[in-house]
Amino acid sequence: MSLAKKLLLSLLLITHLSLLTTANAQYAYKIAKLKYGGGGDWYANKTSMPNLIKFCNQNLRMNVFPEEDIVEPGSPDLFSYPFIHLTGHGNVVFSESESRNLRKYLISGGFLHLDDNYGLDKFIRREMKKVFPELEFVEVPFNHPVYHQKFNFPNGLPKIHEHDSKAPQGFGLFWQGRLVCFYSYECDLGNGWEDQSVYNDPEELRQQALRMGTNLVQYALTVNQ
């Protein structure tokens, strides 16, 4: 390759990075989905996070970057995100170093939303015990601020999809009185964020899911900091 072509390619790369940096700078936050090991489908609900972000930006002017990032539990990049979402149907495995990093992230002010997409429960409870061996999941009371942000949910989580005829429950891990991890169980909250064509859910049900998701993000960005 000639020197002129090398210089041209370098200039194009610098221009691209400059434009990308400028584009990112207009957004106040980025949020992310957690890519975990163990073989579970961490990538489930492909349209859910962009739809939730769009809803947050439209209703609360949160100025969140329109696409979610993907981050691993052991990555130092974890600390760049005030809100992390984890979903799936199956196995989850955190290594010892990943558990330490996730614990440090949550203690330092981060927030983790666990969303059982049906089948996650026994795995995520086991793995979160590695992160906080001294804590137990407790049901978050309906008067907790997470249910009363922009949108009011006096009876807790909405029920999006039916599986085992159980009521939806919101469990939490509290570190020194602060809710650092919210676990939506028997709810399928993230499914409700998906494009309407995915599950053909009634629009009002989708709106309930998006409103509750917005409460979680708002809580992470404000009350939980």
92-147 pLDDT, tens per residue?
A: 999 999 999 999 999 999 999 999 988 899 999 999 999 999 999 999 999 999 99
Query: pTM for the full model?
Result: 0.87
pLDDT in tens, 46-63: 999 999 999 999 999 889
Q: By percentage, how much of the chain surpasses pLDDT 70? A: 88
* Structural domains for the chain: 31-221 (3.40.50.12140)
Q: Which two tokens stand for residue 142?
A: 């309906």
H-type helices in 85-155, by residue range? 96-107, 121-131
User: Could you give the angle at which helices 121-131 and 96-107 cross, rounded to 10 degrees?
Assistant: 80
